[in-house]
C-alpha cells in the first residue's frame, strides 16, 4: 500500500478527486494570463523582432525547475509547496517563513503589474483615465470579488480563464490567416537586435518573459487532491508547460510579424495593436474587453493566493494574529485581504508594469533556486512509494540559471532590487513583532502555512 493510499484509508487529508486531464487544464489555466497580454512589447524592446526567443528560453528555465517540483510533489504529496520543502531540507523556521512570504509578495506584485496593465491601453478603448486611477478602481473590484467568498471567486476564475484562452486563440488565428494571405512581415520575427548585446539581451528578455510562464508552481497545491500525484502530476506539469509555450511562441511570432517592434514596445496593450493591424477583421473593443478580463483573472488569482497565505501564517501563529480575523457573514479573511490590498495600492502608485513584473520574477527566482537545491538535499530521504526522479543535472542547471537571472546581468533596474528588499523587509519585521507578541513558532507550524493557499 502506498503512502497516499494509507492516508486515504486513515481518513486524513483532502479528497483525491482530480484526474490527469483536469490537472493539465489547471496548469494551463494557471499559466495563461496577463503576462502575454501586457509584456510582449517590452520583451521586444530587449531583443528586437525575435520576441519568441526569450519566451522559448523562459520555457527551458521553467521546465528545469519543474523537474524539481515534480520530484518533490511525488515524494511529499501535500499542498504546502516550497515552504514544506524548505523546512524538510533545512529545518530553519525563519528561512521557511521567508520563502512563503516571498511567494506571497510575488502574488501581490504580480497583481499590481496586472492592475497597471488594466489601466493602460486596453482600458483606453472604452474610457480615458490616468493609468493609476484605472488600476486602483480595478483593484477595488478585485477586492470585492475576493471578499465575496472563495466559492464565488473560483467560479469567476473559471469563466475568465476560458475568456483569456479565447483571446490568445484569436491572435493565433489572426497569425495563421496573415501567413496564408501573405500579409505582415514574417522575416521581422527572425530579426535579432538586442539592445545590450546578444547574451545580455536574451537574459533581459528571458527575465521578463518568465513572468508570463509563472503559475506552474501553483499546481503543487492540488497535490493532496490528485488521485495519483506520483504518476499524474509530472505529466500534467510538463504537458501544461509545453502547451503554453506553443501558444506563447505563436502569439509572439504573430505580434512581431504584424506590428513593428517600436510600436509594440511603446504599448502596454501590445496584442491590441496586433488586432488593429490584422487583415482578419476582429472588433478591437471586443478584444480589449477580453484582454481586460484576462488581466483581471491574473490579479484575482494572485490576490486570493496572497490573502490566504497571510491568513494561514496568522492562524499558525507565524505573523500577528490580527491577520486571521474573518468576516462574520462572508467567512473571508478580511484583515489579510486588507493588508495585501494596501501593499498592492502602494505598488500600483509607485511602479510600472515592467518593474512590477520583474519584481515578481526576482522574488520567485529566489524561491525556485532554493527549491532546486532542496530536491538535491532531500535525496537523503527515501520515499516508500515510487515517484518521479529528476535527472540530477536538471535541478543543478535550474538553480544555476535562476541565480544568473537574479543578478544585474539581466539589465534589471536598481529599483527592482530595492522594491524586493523592502517587501521582504516587511516579512522580517512581522516575524520579529510576532515573536514578541506570541513567541517563537515551530518548524511544523511554519511548514503548514502554504496549505491555506487556494488551488
pLDDT for 111-124, tens place per residue? Answer: 999 899 888 888 98
Predicted confidence at residue 50, as pLDDT, reads: 85
Q: Max alpha carbon distance in the chain (Å)?
A: 69
Predicted confidence at residue 455, as pLDDT, reads: 34
Q: How confident is the model at residue 5 (pLDDT cuts 50, 70, 90)?
A: very low
Mean pLDDT over the full length of the chain: 83
DSSP string spanning 221-261? GGGGGBSSHHHHHHHHHHHHHHHHHHHHHHHHHHHHHHS-H
For residue 223, count CB atoms less than 10 angstroms from its CB and return exposed for 0-12, middle for 13-18, buried for 19 or more: buried
Q: Would you say residue 338 has pLDDT above 50?
A: yes
Q: Which domain holds residue 71?
A: 18-452
What's the domain count of the chain? Answer: 1
Predicted confidence at residue 296, as pLDDT, reads: 82
Residue 381 · residue 88 · CB < 8 Å: yes
Neighbours of 33 (CB within 10 A): 27
Residue 424 · residue 281 · CB < 8 Å: no
Percent of the chain surpassing pLDDT 90: 28
Window from 4-8, 207-211, 303-307, 334-338 with minimum mean pLDDT: 4-8
pLDDT for 365-384, tens place per residue? Answer: 999 999 999 999 999 888 77
Percent of the chain surpassing pLDDT 70: 87
pLDDT for 283-308, tens place per residue? Answer: 889 999 988 888 888 888 888 878 87
Residue 34 · residue 117 · CB < 8 Å: yes
Q: Would you say residue 33 has pLDDT above 70?
A: yes
Q: Would you say residue 145 has pLDDT above 60?
A: yes
Retrieve residue 255's grid coordinates: 505580434
Predicted confidence at residue 184, as pLDDT, reads: 79
Tell me, what CATH number does 347's domain have? 1.20.1740.10
Find the mean pLDDT for residues 313-326.
Answer: 80
Predicted confidence at residue 358, as pLDDT, reads: 93
Cα 257 to Cα 190: distance, rounded to the nearest angstrom: 9
Element (H, E) at 61: helix 52-75
Please indicate, yes or no, if residue 89 is contained in any of the structural domains.
Answer: yes
Bridge partners for 226 per DSSP: 18
pTM of the predicted model as reported, rounded to 2 decimal places: 0.86
Q: How confident is the model at residue 9 (pLDDT cuts 50, 70, 90)?
A: very low
Residue 220 · residue 226 · CB < 8 Å: no
Predicted confidence at residue 388, as pLDDT, reads: 85
Please indicate, yes or no, if residue 1 is contained in any of the structural domains.
Answer: no
Please indicate, yes or no, if residue 5 is contained in any of the structural domains.
Answer: no
Q: Would you say residue 4 has pLDDT above 60?
A: no
Window from 11-15, 131-135, 147-151, 192-196 with minimum mean pLDDT: 11-15
Please indicate, yes or no, if residue 12 is contained in any of the structural domains.
Answer: no
Q: Would you say residue 428 has pLDDT above 90?
A: yes
Predicted confidence at residue 446, as pLDDT, reads: 61
Cα 285 to Cα 218: distance, rounded to the nearest angstrom: 32
Predicted confidence at residue 207, as pLDDT, reads: 87
Neighbours of 306 (CB within 10 A): 28
pLDDT for 192-231, tens place per residue? Answer: 777 677 777 888 888 888 888 888 877 776 665 667 777 7
Cα 203 to Cα 54: distance, rounded to the nearest angstrom: 8
Residues 6+ apart with CB under 8 A from 213: 31, 35, 55, 58, 59, 62, 241, 244, 245, 248
Predicted confidence at residue 78, as pLDDT, reads: 67
Please give the residue that has the higher pLDDT: either 386 or 9: 386
Q: Would you say residue 45 has pLDDT above 80?
A: yes
Amino acid at each position: 500500500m502506498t503512502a497516499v493510499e494509507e492516508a486515504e484509508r486513515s481518513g486524513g487529508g483532502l479528497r483525491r478527486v482530480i484526474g490527469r486531464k483536469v490537472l493539465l487544464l489547471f496548469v494551463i489555466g494557471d499559466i495563461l494570463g496577463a503576462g502575454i497580454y501586457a509584456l510582449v512589447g517590452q520583451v521586444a524592446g530587449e531583443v528586437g523582432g525575435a520576441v519568441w526567443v526569450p519566451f522559448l528560453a523562459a520555457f527551458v528555465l521553467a521546465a528545469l525547475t519543474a523537474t524539481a517540483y515534480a520530484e518533490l510533489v511525488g515524494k511529499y504529496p501535500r499542498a504546502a509547496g516550497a515552504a514544506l520543502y524548505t523546512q524538510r531540507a533545512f529545518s530553519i523556521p525563519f528561512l521557511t517563513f521567508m520563502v512563503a512570504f516571498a511567494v506571497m509578495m510575488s502574488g501581490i506584485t504580480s497583481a499590481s503589474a496586472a492592475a497597471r496593465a488594466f489601466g493602460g491601453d486596453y482600458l483606453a478603448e472604452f474610457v480615458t483615465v490616468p493609468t493609476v486611477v484605472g488600476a486602483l478602481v480595478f483593484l477595488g473590484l478585485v477586492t470585492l470579488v475576493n471578499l465575496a467568498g472563495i466559492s464565488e471567486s473560483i467560479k469567476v476564475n473559471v469563466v475568465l480563464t476560458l475568456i483569456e484562452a479565447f483571446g490568445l486563440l484569436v491572435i493565433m488565428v489572426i497569425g495563421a490567416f496573415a501567413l496564408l494571405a501573405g500579409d505582415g512581415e514574417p522575416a521581422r520575427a527572425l530579426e535579432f537586435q538586442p539592445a545590450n548585446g546578444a547574451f545580455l539581451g536574451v537574459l533581459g528578455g528571458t527575465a521578463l518573459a518568465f513572468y508570463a510562464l509563472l503559475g506552474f508552481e501553483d499546481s503543487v497545491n492540488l497535490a493532496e487532491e490528485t488521485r495519483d500525484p506520483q504518476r499524474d502530476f509530472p505529466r500534467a506539469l510538463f504537458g501544461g508547460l509545453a502547451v503554453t509555450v506553443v501558444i506563447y511562441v505563436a502569439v509572439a511570432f504573430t505580434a512581431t510579424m504584424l506590428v513593428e517592434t517600436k510600436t509594440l514596445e511603446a504599448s502596454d496593450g501590445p496584442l491590441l495593436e496586433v488586432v488593429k493591424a490584422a487583415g482578419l477583421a476582429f472588433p478591437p473593443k471586443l478584444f480589449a474587453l477580453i484582454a481586460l478580463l484576462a488581466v483581471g483573472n491574473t490579479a484575482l488569482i494572485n490576490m486570493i493566493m496572497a490573502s490566504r497565505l497571510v491568513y494561514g501564517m496568522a492562524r499558525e501563529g507565524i505573523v500577528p494574529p490580527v491577520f486571521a480575523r474573518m468576516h462574520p457573514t462572508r467567512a473571508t479573511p478580511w484583515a489579510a485581504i486588507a493588508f495585501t490590498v494596501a501593499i498592492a495600492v502602494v505598488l500600483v502608485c509607485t511602479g510600472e508594469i515592467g518593474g512590477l513584473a520583474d519584481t515578481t520574477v526576482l522574488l520567485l527566482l529566489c524561491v525556485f533556486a532554493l527549491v532546486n537545491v532542496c530536491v538535491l538535499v532531500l535525496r537523503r530521504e527515501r520515499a516508500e512509494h515510487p515517484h518521479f526522479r529528476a535527472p540530477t543535472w536538471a535541478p543543478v542547471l535550474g538553480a544555476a540559471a535562476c541565480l544568473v537571472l537574479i543578478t544585474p546581468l539581466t539589465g534589471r533596474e536598481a529599483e527592482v532590487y530595492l522594491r524586493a528588499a523592502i517587501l521582504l523587509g516587511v516579512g522580517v519585521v512581522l516575524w520579529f513583532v510576532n515573536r514578541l507578541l506570541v513567541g517563537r513558532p515551530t518548524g511544523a507550524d511554519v511548514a503548514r502555512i502554504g496549505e491555506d493557499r487556494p488551488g
